[in-house]
Amino acid sequence: MANPVTWFEIIGKDGGKLQKFYGDLFGWKIDANNPMNYGMVDNGGSGINGGVAGGDGPRLTVYVETSDLEGTLKNAEAAGGKTVMPVTDVPGGPTLAMFADPEGNIVGIMKPMQM
């Protein structure tokens, strides 16, 4: 499939509480042992990986993989969307951006991760 969903993110005011909730509810292995306390969800090879953390929530975001982040943002804006986060390099992580669709839903886009 062109441009698959490759990541999800669940954000709320209390990241630790959300990590415990989703870990207990679904048996997810969530590792927040990093400087940002960002809970990395390891899918064990089934489904997509994601993150559960504290922040400007509540929000649930899916990330679509694309090699041209700037071009995708321009196309989203031309179709009635709005850029809400410009292209950003996360230290030690992915390059990503976010836009709102015409109804206000936030969608993330990210470059393919290099392994």
- pLDDT band (50, 70, 90) for residue 45: confident
Per-residue pLDDT at 1 exceeds 70: no
Quick one: average pLDDT of 33-55? 91
DSSP character at residue 8: E
Mean pLDDT of the chain: 91
pLDDT at 60: 93
Per-residue pLDDT at 113 exceeds 90: no
DSSP 68-112: -HHHHHHHHHHTT-EEEEEEEEPTTS-EEEEEE-TT--EEEEEPP
113: tokens are: 């991760």
CATH code, residues 5-17+26-110: 3.10.180.10
pLDDT in tens, 84-111: 999 999 888 899 999 999 989 999 999 9
